[in-house]
């Protein structure tokens, strides 16, 4: 069985590349002290399970008036919106079976980069990167945008209610698109050196200063979104996969 590349290990790998390191959010392992520290410096943060996917076990946390606002999805994928008075109470949300002596695994904390459209909708960009003849190429790019209740927690994942959108509809400058592609290629090279794969799905946001921020690298990326949004791009990714098998 292929091992999983956790979010914390990703962060450590990406920090080693001086180009990519400039484009990743501040990330630390979860602890009550680390959470308190980041919330004293950022308006909001995300607490994420190290290995869970599909938008599960991700919580947006804000601190105000001595209370903690927790908004996101449990490890089972259930929506949660709760106000707690002590940071210790968050531990029970992260580890629902802790009373039985079972923890759910490690978590990380990331700064909220506030990747919003001009209309205030959270969005993320997926870059599908593939290795062909020992060179990394961009298979395709698409956007995901939060709508409805998901707008409040900013968790942009189609399994949790986000919607597909084309890059052109996001109205991003071409120079920013090119920069995202370059960072994605460099990140793929960096991850591949320690965790080789034929392709990666790399998620980006764009902060309020217009800087691309690499949110996460997916080592088993799906491509159904490309089929829904642009069949030509989907066909290109599939064709590259075929060529990978032939090379």
- Residue 14 falls inside a structural domain: no
pLDDT, tens digit, 9 for 90 and up, residues 59-89: 999 988 888 999 999 888 888 999 999 888 8
Both tokens of residue 133? 């003849």
Beta bridge pairs of residue 126: 142, 203
Asked whether residue 99 falls in the same domain as residue 213, the answer is: no
Q: pLDDT at residue 30 above 70? A: yes
Question: How far is 190 from 154, CA to CA, in rounded Å?
Answer: 28
pLDDT, tens digit, 9 for 90 and up, residues 167-208: 999 989 999 999 999 999 999 999 999 999 999 999 999 999
Given 57, 87, 111, the domain boundary residue is 111
pLDDT, tens digit, 9 for 90 and up, residues 93-123: 888 766 655 677 899 999 999 999 988 999 9
Question: How far is 111 from 189, CA to CA, in rounded Å?
Answer: 25
Asked whether residue 149 falls in the same domain as residue 227, the answer is: yes
Asked whether residue 196 falls in the same domain as residue 149, the answer is: yes
Asked whether residue 59 falls in the same domain as residue 102, the answer is: yes
- Which pLDDT score, from 0 to 100, does residue 101 have? 59
* CATH code: domain of residue 154: 3.30.470.20
pTM score, whole prediction: 0.92
- Residue 117 falls inside a structural domain: no
Q: Quick one: angle between helices 7-15 and 174-192, nearest 10?
A: 100
Asked whether residue 96 falls in the same domain as residue 129, the answer is: no
49-62 mean pLDDT: 90
pLDDT, tens digit, 9 for 90 and up, residues 114-161: 999 988 999 999 999 999 999 999 999 999 999 887 788 888 988 887
User: 161 and 149 in contact (C-beta within 8 Å)?
Assistant: yes
235-241 mean pLDDT: 95
| Range of weakest confidence among 7-11, 49-53, 102-106 | 102-106
């Amino acid at each position: 069985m292929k091992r999983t590349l956790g979010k914390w290990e990703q962060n450590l790998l990406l920090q080693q590349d001086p180009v990519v390191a400039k484009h990743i959010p501040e990330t630390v392992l979860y602890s009550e002290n680390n959470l308190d520290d980041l919330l004293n410096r950022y308006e909001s943060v995300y607490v994420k399970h190290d290995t869970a996917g599909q938008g599960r076990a991700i919580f947006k946390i804000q601190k105000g008036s001595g209370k903690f606002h927790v908004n996101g999805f449990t490890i089972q994928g259930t929506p949660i919106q709760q106000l707690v008075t002590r940071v210790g109470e968050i531990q029970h949300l992260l580890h629902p079976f802790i009373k039985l002596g079972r923890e759910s695994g490690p978590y990380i904390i990331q700064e909220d980069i506030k990747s919003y459209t001009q209309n205030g909708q959270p969005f993320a960009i997926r870059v599908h990167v593939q290795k062909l003849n020992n060179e990394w190429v961009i298979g395709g790019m698409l956007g995901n945008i939060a709508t409805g209740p998901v707008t409040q927690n900013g968790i942009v994942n189609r399994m949790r209610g986000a919607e597909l959108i084309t890059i052109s509809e996001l109205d991003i400058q071409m120079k920013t698109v090119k920069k995202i592609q370059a960072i994605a290629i460099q990140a793929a090279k960096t991850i591949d050196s320690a965790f080789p794969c034929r392709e990666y799905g790399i998620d980006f946001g764009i902060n309020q200063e217009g800087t691309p921020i690499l949110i996460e690298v997916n080592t088993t990326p799906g491509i159904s979104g490309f089929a829904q949004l642009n069949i030509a791009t989907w066909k290109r990714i599939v064709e590259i996969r075929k060529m990978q098998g032939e090379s």
